[in-house]
Amino acid sequence: MHLIQNFPFISIILCLASGVVSSVLSGKNAKRLCISLVSLLGILNSMVLFYVWKTKESYTFMMGHFPAPWGNELRIGVLESLMAVFFCAIMLLSLCGGMKRIFKDVEEEKTNLYFVMIDLMLSSLLAIIYTNDLFTAYVFVEINTIAACALIMIRNNGHSLVAAAKYMIMSLLGSGLILMALSMLYDLSGHLLMSNIKEAVAQILPGSQYEIPLTVVIALLCVGLAIKSALFPFHSWLPDAYGFSTPSSSAILSSLVSKAYIFLLIKIFYRVIGMDVMIDHKITNALFFFAVIGMLMGSLSAIKEHDIRRLIAFSSVAQIGYIYMGIGLGTKAGMMAALFHILSHAASKSMLFIAASGLSEVSGNSKDFTDLKGSGYRNKIAGIGFTVGALSMVGIPLFAGFTSKVYFAEAAVNASTSKMAIGMVILAISTILNAVYFIRAVISIYTPRNEHFIVPGYKPAVTFSVAMVFFIVLNFVLGIFSNPIMDAIEVGLKMFA
C-alpha cells in the first residue's frame, strides 16, 4: 500500500479535524488555517492524480479492517482525483477573491464559524467525490446541505435568511427522495456498496418482479439529485440563494456544490445502475428534455434581470441545463462534454461572482446596473475579469466556454438524429440569448458614467487582484489546452465503471 494511496483518506480526515479546531480559533487564525488547508489538499490530490495517471487503473481504499461489502470503501481513479484537484483550486481562488468581503459582511465574532463551514463543506465535497458506498454519500450530502445553508445565511440581512429557508426546504425534499430511493435499492440488491449493487441490478431482467421498483428508484434518484443541483423545474431557490449571500460563498455554491451532486449522479449512472440500464429506462430522454427547456428558460429569465448577481445566478441555471443536456445525450462523448463543462463552468462562474463583487465595491455597494455603469474603469482588474468570464459564458473562441460548446456540438452530432436536431438548435438559440444579456452587461460596465463614485487612488485588495489573475489564466488554460484534460476525462471514464 503506497503512501500516496492514503492521501484521499488523509485529506478528508484533515478537513473534518480542521473544521472542528477552527471553531475555537479567532477569525484571523481560522482564515490562515483554512487557506493553508485548502492549498495543502490541492497539492495532495494532485500527487494522487499523477500517481493514478501513471498506474492507469483505479484502486480502492478500505476504511478500517474489513473489506468492502462489510466496511466502508473509497475508490480513487483519474476522474475523481482530477475533480478533487479542480474543486480545491476553485475553492482556494474564490476564498482569496472574496476575502475582504467576508470580513466586511460577517460579524466580527462569527468569522471563524464561516471558516468552519468552508472546511466541512470541502470535506463533504471530497467524500462525495471519492466514496464508493451509497449511504456514506447520503451522510456527506447532508453535511453539504447544512454547510451550504449556513454559507447563505451567515450574512445576516433579511434577504439571505429568507433565501436560506427556501433553500433548506427544497434541499430537504431532495434528500428525502434520495434516501427513499436508497432504501428501495438496498431492498432490491441487499448491498450498499456501489459495485455490488450494479451486479444485483444487472440480474433484474425486464419483466421480472423487481422491474417496476427499479424504474421508480431511478426516477426518485434523478428527481432528488435534480432538485439539489437546481435543474430547470426545481430551480426556484437558486436566484435568491446566490443573489443575496457573500460573493465568495455564492461563488463556491454555484461552482462546487451543485457540481458535486451532478458528479454523484454520473457516478450513480456508471457505477450503481449501469449506463445501458439507464438508457433502456429512457431516463436520459427525460433529463435531455428538462435540460433543453432549462437552457432556454434560464437565459430568458436572466435577460429581464437588472441586478448583476441575480443575472449571473440565472445564467448558472442555463449552464446546469447544458451539463444535463450532455448527460441526456446518453453517449460517451456526451458524458465527456458534460464533465468538461463542469470544469469550465465552475471556473468561469466563480470568476463572474468574484468580479461582480469587485465591481459593486467601487459603485457604492449597489448591485443595480444603473449604478454599475462605468465601474469597469474604476476597478480595472474586476472589469477585465468580468469581461473574460462573460465572453467565456457566451462562447467566444480562446475561452473555456467555447471549447465546451464545441465538445457539446460534437457529441450532439453523433447522437441520435432527433436529439442531434433539437440539441444543435437549442445550443444556437441559447448562445444567442447568453450573448444578449452578457454583452449588454459588459457594455454597461464600460460606459463612462457615475463619476461621483470615483475614489482617487482606489486600489483593489491584493488578494482580489491575485485571484482574478489566476482565474483569467485558468480560463485560458481550459480554453486552449483542453486536449490533455479531455484525455484525462476519457481515461477516467474508462476506469470509472
Partner 1 sequence: MGGNLLTNFYEAVAVILFGIGFTTLLLHRNMIKKILGFNIMDTAIYLFLAVKGYITGGMAPILTNGVEEQAYYINPVPSGLVLTGIVVSVSVTALMLALTIRLYRRYHTLDIDKMSMLAKKEDL
Partner 2 sequence: MSKLNPNYEASKWRKIERFVNGEEISDNPNLSKHEEEIREASQEDKERNEQFEATITDLEDRIQKERKRSIEALYRKYEKWPQTKGIKIFTHIYRILAVLFCVCIISVLLMTVSYLPTFGDASNPNNNEVPKRYIEKGIEETGAINFVAGMILDYRAFDTLGESHVLFIAACCVLILLRIDHSKNGKKPTEKAEAEEDDRKFEPKNDKILQKIASLLIPPIIIYGIYVVLNGHLSPGGGFSGGAIIGAGLILYLNAFGYEKIEKFFTYKTYQRITVGALLFYACAKSYSFYTGANHLESGIPKGIPGNILSSGLILPLNVAVGLVVACTMYGFYTLFRKGGM
Q: Which residues bind partner 2 (CB under 8 A)?
A: 1, 6, 9-10, 13, 16-17, 19-21, 23-24, 61-66, 69-72, 108-110, 113, 116-117, 120, 123-124, 127, 133, 135-136, 139-140, 142-143, 146-147, 149-150, 153-154, 180, 184, 186-191, 200, 209-213, 216
Q: Closest CB to partner 1 among 106 and 347?
A: 106
Q: Closest CB to partner 1 among 21 and 172?
A: 172
Q: Is 166 a residue that touches partner 1 (CB under 8 A)?
A: yes
Amino acid identity of 201?
V
Query: According to CB under 8 A, which one of 117, 164, 308, 327 is a site residue for partner 1?
Result: 164
Distance CA 271, CA 254 (A): 26
End-to-end CA distance of the chain: 23
Stretch that binds partner 1, among 160-168, 222-230, 410-418, 473-481 (CB under 8 A): 160-168
> What number of other Cβ atoms are within 10 A of residue 26's Cβ?
12
Task: Supply the minimum distance, in Å, between the C-beta of residue 178 and partner 1.
Answer: 10
Query: According to CB under 8 A, which one of 21, 180, 204, 422 is a site residue for partner 1?
Result: 180
- When CB distances are held under 5 to 8 angstroms depending on the partner's kind, the choice from partner 1, partner 2, none that residue 443 binds is none
Q: Closest CB to partner 1 among 129 and 153?
A: 153
Q: Closest CB to partner 1 among 140 and 322?
A: 140
Query: According to CB under 8 A, which one of 16, 40, 146, 429 is a site residue for partner 1?
Result: 146
Q: Which of 253, 442, 471 is nearest to 351 (CA)?
A: 471
CA 4 centroid distance within chain: 26
Q: Which three cell numbers stand for residue 53?
A: 495517471
Task: Supply the minimum distance, in Å, between the C-beta of residue 149 and partner 2.
Answer: 7
Chain positions 209 to 248 lying near partner 1, rule: CB under 8 A, are 209, 212, 240
Task: Supply the minimum distance, in Å, between the C-beta of residue 327 and partner 1.
Answer: 26
Q: Are 95 and 246 in contact (CB under 8 A)?
A: no
- When CB distances are held under 5 to 8 angstroms depending on the partner's kind, the choice from partner 1, partner 2, none that residue 19 binds is partner 2
Q: With CB under 8 A, what is the number of residues at the site for partner 1?
A: 28
Amino acid identity of 473?
V
Q: Which three cell numbers stand for residue 92?
A: 482556494
- When CB distances are held under 5 to 8 angstroms depending on the partner's kind, the choice from partner 1, partner 2, none that residue 233 binds is none
Half-sphere exposure of 106 (CA within 13 A, CB side): 27
> What number of other Cβ atoms are within 10 A of residue 398's Cβ?
13
Q: Which three cell numbers stand for residue 96?
A: 482569496
Q: Is 193 a residue that touches partner 1 (CB under 8 A)?
A: no
Q: Is 239 exposed, middle or buried (0-12, 13-18, 19+ CB in 10 A)?
A: buried
Task: Supply the minimum distance, in Å, between the C-beta of residue 187 and partner 1.
Answer: 5
Q: Closest CB to partner 2 among 191 and 341?
A: 191
At residue 56, what are phi and psi to the nearest 5 degrees? 60, 15
Task: Supply the minimum distance, in Å, between the C-beta of residue 196 and partner 2.
Answer: 9
Query: According to CB under 8 A, which one of 15, 79, 126, 149 is a site residue for partner 1?
Result: 149
Binding site for partner 1 (CB under 8 A): 135, 139, 142, 146, 149, 153, 156, 158-159, 161-162, 164-166, 168-169, 172-173, 176, 179-180, 183, 186-187, 192, 209, 212, 240
